[in-house]
Structure 1
Amino acid sequence: MKCELCNNEATVFYTQAVQGGQKKICLCESCAEERGLTDPGAFSMVDILMDEIPQQAQQSAVAEVAEQCSHCGFTIEDYRKVGRLGCSQCYTAFRGEIVPVLAKMHQGVKHQGKVPSGMAESIEARQKLENLKEELQQAIDDEKFEEAAKIRDSIKKLELE
């Protein structure tokens, strides 16, 4: 595993209990020492992650952030204080503040999901088949019958596999 702050090899795995849930962070030894991980009372994951965002990025992010979620009333100060959000709409309201933290915490902000082992090929083949059927319909609509025949043959071959 990689350190979530500097991408060196992680050797320290810290789990913090937060209101019935858990937050985990993987750090290399030097990042853990720099941030006082040896003194658990002084360690706050939110503070560490916020310190890693350059000051200029924090200021521009704050400019894009709503002061309060229109759905639940949670404020940006509430988020900064407790390190969690009030509702799902807070993600949109506080996007400028949250995206940089999520990117640092999860190595990206787009959820890819997981695929059970052995299913990836099946899912990929199904998606390819759907795309070919759409291409076939478009070729027929455009009266490109030679192209449509080739696509039809590709579909049949894929369905046999």
Structure 2
Amino acid sequence: MLCERCQERPASVHVTRIINGEKTELYLCQECARELQPQLNFSIPQFLAGLLDYDPELEVKAPPAVERCPECGLTYEQFHETGRLGCPECYHHLAPRLDPLIRRIQGSSQHRGKVPRRAGGNLRLRREIENLRARLQQLVQQEEFEKAAQVRDRIRDLEGRLEKGESSQ
């Protein structure tokens, strides 16, 4: 497919714009996309900032004072513009505003990391049990009791293995 703008080079950028419910699509080459970038008004920091701003409750909860990291001087507004924090201390000093955003984007505000296959057997079992318990709650709420019973039995099996000191398969 050729670029819809210049009709010379192959299209490698797909742009979808939705304005007032009207969807338009453009297939552009790299050069035309670069030329139109100011008109497209898109950047990764703006995208992240827009994603982060989506929660209307966040603005109600946010304290009105200007929050500033004492280490690097970054304000929340600067983070909002760039999508980047200035230093590791920003996480602590801007936590009231960052935690809800991180939770919404990643599902949790706690870093869990990866577990090594050889050494992380028990930790892997505990995490699987934790996930299965959450699944069990969902199934009970959905009144899928047969599946819930299977998940309950799997949890019991894994807890037994954990007590014996076995690791997962």
TM superposition score category, shorter chain reference:
0.3 to 0.5
Higher RCO, Cα 8 Å, sep 6+: 1
Give the structure-1-normalised TM-score.
0.45
Give the structure-2-normalised TM-score.
0.44
